[in-house]
Every structure is written in structure tokens, then in C-alpha cells.
Chains A and B, each alone.
Chain A
Amino acid sequence: MSSLLSVRNIVKTFDTVRAVDGVSFQVRRGTITGLLGRNGAGKTTTIRMITGIFLPDSGQIDWEGADNGKPFRDRIGYLPEERGLYKQMKIVELLIFLAEIKGRKGPEVRASIARWLDRFELTEKREAKVEELSKGNQQKVQLIATLLHDPELIILDEPQSGLDPVNMVLVRNLLRELRDEGKTILLSTHMMGEAEKMANEIVLIHRGKVVLDGSVEAVRSSHGKNTIHLEFDGDGRFLGELPDVKHSTIHNNAAELSLTEGSDPQKILEAAVPRLRIRRFELALPSLEEIFIEKVGEETLSEVVR
């Protein structure tokens, strides 16, 4: 897979804070790349440099392959974390305007708008003003605006934030569909579970630096089989206190334990059997969440486990 976008060693400083500190990664064509990290890690600043909102203090952002000499801004469809539309405008007029500033106009744009409105069941609202729409429908309109000009690279910053469950499923299905059509998607999120379900590749950012990147499978397998998934009945809180357990995520009837290097998982099972009724015991690849915690430390736990 050839890469569409190469980010090389970009740096952005605000006053005294290095928001992005030498970030490099590639976005390959036809993949969903997850840009992961807790809030404030530098994801949005990185995206803003890719979209040309900020200029990097140093470093480069290169696009591979020309697309009819289109300016890079027109090759991107961007859904910002901060959603917003002109509240006073009619839906159709707004979408035409947003297509125009992406360099598209004419009858095909209108046809495309009609298609998208139909797909999101907004056709009868086409003459309504944005402020007259429900929040969910406003988000649909924003999503249409992101995709309307048929961008090569779709950048979604925390697309799930503020979505109701119905729209969340809608977005998830749409992303899969777009990927299957061969679109390239850069998905920024702090929700590891979401990224694990969607992304092929991940870039993990912490405090402005990339701490991990690669395909999801490679990342997980490189972190070895020292993770145990347990399901049980009983009070499992003691599991985290066992020797050899480096990190643990313990829920009511399930636990994910990552062990120190070279330790024997069998010991854990032996310790657990007398005190719990074990329903499942599995040596597994660690989840992204586990890897994330291992990489960046306990301090972010509260951020990640929501």
C-alpha cells in the first residue's frame, strides 16, 4: 500500500508549550489510520497542521502523488472536533457554499447534495435553516459537508463526541463503507475501543510525541502474549495485587491483566482458582488500551477507561 501523506518531524509550539514535538507518521492509501492519545496529547494540533490551519514551526507534510494539481486543502474532507455551521443558512445553500470553498460547483455538486441528503433522510429539510434542525441532524449535515467534495483523505477529529448511539452506529458503518470504497481515513480519537474496532493502523501520540505506530496487528503481537483475559464470578479486585501483574483493568466479572516480562501466566491461574469461579481464561494479544497504558503509564488511566 502506497502512502498518501507523510508527516515528517513536525513541531508546533504555543508560547512555552510544545504541543507537537517532532511527530512523524504516514497515512497509507485505503486504510483507516487511528490517531490515538488522551485529550491534550497533540492530536488536534497535528490535524490542524495537516489541514493547513496552522503552519508547523518546523518539519514537513508531504502529499504523495498529484491529484490533478488540486491544492491539498481540496483533497481533504475535515470534520473538526468543534462542530459548527452557519445557523442562519438554509441547508442546501450552506452545502453549496461549503462545496464551493472546496473548489467544487455546478450541477454535479447539486446532484451529490441530493444523494447525500436522501441517504441521511434529510431531503425534506433541504430548505430549512440549520438552526431549525435537531442536534443529530445538524451533525449529519456536517458529515455531508465533510464528504461532499469526494475528498481523497477524510480526517475526522473525535467523530463520536456528542453523537447519540444511533448516529454513532451510522458513522461507524459509513466509515467502513468508505474504507471499502478505497478512501483513506485519518481518525483521531481518545477512545481506544473505537479505534480497535475501526482502524487498520494506529499512531499513538503522548505529550506531543509519537510513542507507538504501525498496523494494529503488528502493534498488538509485538507486545507479546503476556496478557490474560479473565472472566469469573466473585470479587476479583485482588488480581491487580498479585506478583508479576504489571497493569490491570478489572471490571465486575472480567479482568485484563498484563504481566511482567518472562513471568508464567499459569501462576496467575493458580492464584485465582481458589478464590474465584473461573469462566474463561485466555492468553491474548493485549488490547490497544493495555498497550496505551503500558506505554504512557498509569497517569492516563482515568482518561482511557471511561
Chain B
Amino acid sequence: MNKLLAVFKREYLSAVRKKMFIVMTFLLPVLMAGLMVLPGMVMMRGLGEKKIVVLDGTGQLESAYSRKPSIPGKNRSGVTGRGVRSMLNVDYVSRNGDQNLDATAKQYIARMNAKGKEKIDGVFVIPADAIANTDAHLKYYSRSATDFIGQERLGSITNRAIHTIRLSARGIPVEELASLMKDSSVDGVQVSKSGAEKKGGAANFIVGFVMTALLLVPSFIYGLEIMRGIIQEKTDRVIEVLVSSMSPSQLLVGKILGVAAVGLTQIAVWLVMLALAGAYITTTAAMAGENILQLLRPATFVYFVIFFILAYLTYVCIYAIGGSVCNSEKEAQQLIAPITMIMMLPWFLLVAIITSPDSKLSVVFSLSPVFGPLTMYVRTLVADPPMWHIAVCIAVSIATIFVFFWATAKIFRVGILSYGKRPSIPEILRWIRVA
């Protein structure tokens, strides 16, 4: 036991002191956050930089594009929707009575090729009969056909304004229009087995992805770390001193637990960072009407630790085998790459599992060995699987881990002292039998 502890301590300290560990621990979350936030920011900026000319043949829609609230006392977003003017740089041009609107439009479209101040990115044309004719077509000329966000925003602003005008023409007071035309928002509600209701929706999806990645990535990183460590010990020829001082299983368990502790340390740091970021996001999200807090309930973290440990211990055996039978990292990578692919199956099916966590596929995966921990964690995160499912999953995983450990210890015993060529799979199986 003392020896196991000595190995544990050595593995832990030598890993935690590495620069790589510190960099990974503090930089990775920043990077990940960056990756998630950046595309959104780029998109926003992309819209803000767009200069669009609106040619209004009716001449009546200026208020929709002006910065002044069109209706006194009412927030402007009530009419224009989602504060679009902060993203689109719109130049409103009234062309009331223009007999040849198409020709005018062409002049503006020509400016899309201009340089400097004259350059515009899009032309939005509202025909003169847009209010009277219900079959009238609005036209949006732009450089890219995929600029659907700009198109959609301009369309909805214009339509809203047209509707307002049509309705007030029928005698409905302008003051009432805003409340009459107000869209109802849609809340995604998740119904659990116990009948309790929680709000879910898009946030659910994102949190599911982030937490699953947080569970999976360290397992693989530290699995690789174990593999590298064992190969290093083989190339440094330390291994013989080690196994003459303790049994190979003691060494193996000490190493695996030591590295697991490193992983848990890192995850603890990440969870604290996540909690801090979460506090900020929650307040922001609460204003947007999303309640993330109920997704990040305490059970989420308890399950996280349980399933992380189970997943890690399952995966790491494969890497330990890779390390003990190979003499170089390259060799080991080749051996375990296909196995890793199979182990990651739940990750590739993540969208299916998140969107239907109680489907047959999800249930089967969550109760099977190897795939169990990850799949079940996703299920507990986005749904409310029955307690016995969770119990079976944990039991199956523990049994799997014991079998894996037993086989790994045997392969380890033979493999760590073999410096020859990499054994074939049948040879490895024979090691399990003879060792």
C-alpha cells in the first residue's frame, strides 16, 4: 500500500509540476470560451459593417428605419424587432413617385462595386405598391446569396411596418397595434418522468455539449499521458527497478490513480472557472429568459465526478496496454487509434443522444460497457433517466473496469519488459492467458 502511494505521489507531483499542466489548466478554458464566443462576435461585426441602402417606393416606411421610436412612448424594438439597427448600417432613401424604381435601383447596385465611402454592400428595394398589393415582392440585392440574416431582418422590419400601416388604415388605433402585433415567445419545456417541469431549450444543448466534452477530453488526454509515461519508463529503462520493487499491478494502479488525481485536479479548477463564468452567464441568460441554473444543479456535478471516474478508468486501461506493448509513441498511437474511435462512438452520436435521451439507442448505449459512462452522463444531464438505469450503468462500468484492469495488469507484466517488435493482437491475448 505504501508503495502504491509512493507511485501515486510521484506520478501526481511530476505531472502537476509540468508547465504543460499549468498551461492546459488555465489556457484551455479561455481558448474554448474563445472558440464559442468568437463566431458570434464575428457574425455581429459582419452585419455591423454592412452598409445597405433601402429604396422605399411607398415613401411611408421611414419611421421603421429611423432611429426615433415610431410610436411615442414605445420602445423602438417593439416595431423593428431585436435592435437590428445596431447591426445593420441602413441608409433610408424615400423614392415616393419614382416611376422607374428599377433604374434607380440599378444606379445604387452599381455602387456595390465602388470603393471607399461610396461603396455599399446591399440594396433593398420596396416597390410603390407594397402596401396596397399583397402579392408585391421586396427585393434584396447583395454580394452573397447566403446573407440570409440581413435579408430576414430587413424583411421583417419592412413587413412589420407595412402591416402597421395596413391595419391602421382599417381604423385600428396605432397605440393598440404594438400590443396586438406582439409575437409570443416559445419556451422549450422538458417534462421529466417524475412529472416535474424544467425549462430547457437551446441552452440545454450547449451545456450538454460543453459538459460532455469536459468529461471526455481529460480522459483521453490523461490516457495518452499514461501511455507516454509507460513508454518513457521503458525507454529510460526505469521499469525494471520499479517492478523488482513492487508487483506490476501495484505499479499500474498507482500510476492510473495518480494520473486520475491530476485529471480531477484540473477538472476541479475548470469547474470553479465554469462556476464563476456561470454566475456571469446566468445573470445574462436570466435577462434573456433562459434559466441555465436549473441545468447546472448540484446533481450535475455529482454525476459528473462519478461518470468521469468511470469513463477515465475504462479508457485508461486501453492506453496502458498500448504503452506496455509498444516501444515508441508512434507505434502505440497506431495500435490504439482504431480502438479510440470505437470508444468515442457516443461522442459521434452525441446529437442523437442529447436530442432524444430516452430513445432505444441512448438506453442501450448507456447500459453497455465502455460506452456506458459517457452516454449515461449525457442522459442525466438533459433528461431524467430512471434510477435503475443509472445503477445498472455504474455496476456494468465497474465490472468492465475490473476485467480491464485484470487483463491490463497481465499484459503490463509481460509487455513492460519486452523491447522487441510490437506484438500482434493474438500474441497479446496469449500474454493474458500465460502471465
Contacts and interface: CB of A to CB of B under 8 A. Distances in A.
Interface stretch (A77-85, A215-223, A278-286): A77-85
A98 interface: yes
Nearest to B254: A101
Contact of A88 (B14, B245, B417): B14
B243 interface: yes
A52 interface: yes
Contact of B236 (A48, A73, A87, A105): A87
Q: Helix, strand, loop or mixed for chain A's interface? A: loop
A80 B240 contact: yes
Nearest to B419: A82
B238 interface: yes
Interface string A113-130: 000000000000000000
Given A52-B247, A85-B236, A100 B2 contact: yes
B288 interface: no
B246 A53 contact: no
B166 interface: no
Nearest to B427: A15
Contact of B3 (A84, A103, A145): A103
Contact of B10 (A82, A85, A97): A97
B32 interface: no
A230 interface: no
B7 interface: yes
B41 interface: no
B163 interface: no
B72 to A, nearest CB: 73
A80 B244 contact: yes
B243 to A, nearest CB: 5
A219 B241 CA distance: 33
A53 B240 contact: yes
B133 to A, nearest CB: 79
Contacts of B247: 52
Interface in B231-288: 233, 236-247
A101 B417 contact: no
Contacts of B2: 100, 103, 105
B306 interface: no
A86 B240 contact: no
Interface in A54-85: 73-74, 76, 78, 80, 82-85
A101 B3 contact: yes
Contacts of A102: 245
A104 B28 CA distance: 40
A82 B242 CA distance: 12
Contacts of B417: 48, 53
Contacts of B242: 101
Nearest to B417: A53
B145 to A, nearest CB: 57
Contact of B241 (A52, A78, A100, A105): A78
A53 B243 contact: yes
A86 B238 contact: yes
Nearest to A85: B238
Contacts of A87: 236
B391 interface: no
A47 to B, nearest CB: 9
A248 interface: no
A51 interface: yes
Contacts of A293: none
A87 B236 CA distance: 7
Contacts of B239: 84
Given A52-B243, A53-B243, A145-B241, 9 more contacts: A48-B244, A51-B244, A74-B245, A78-B240, A80-B241, A84-B241, A85-B241, A89-B14, A103-B2
Interface of B: 2-3, 6-7, 10, 14, 233, 236-247, 417
30 contacts: A48-B244, A48-B417, A52-B247, A53-B244, A73-B244, A76-B244, A78-B240, A78-B241, A78-B244, A82-B237, A82-B240, A83-B237, A84-B233, A84-B236, A84-B239, A84-B241, A85-B241, A86-B236, A86-B238, A87-B236, A89-B14, A97-B6, A100-B6, A101-B3, A101-B6, A101-B7, A101-B246, A102-B245, A105-B2, A145-B241
Interface of A: 48, 51-53, 73-74, 76, 78, 80, 82-89, 97-98, 100-103, 105, 145
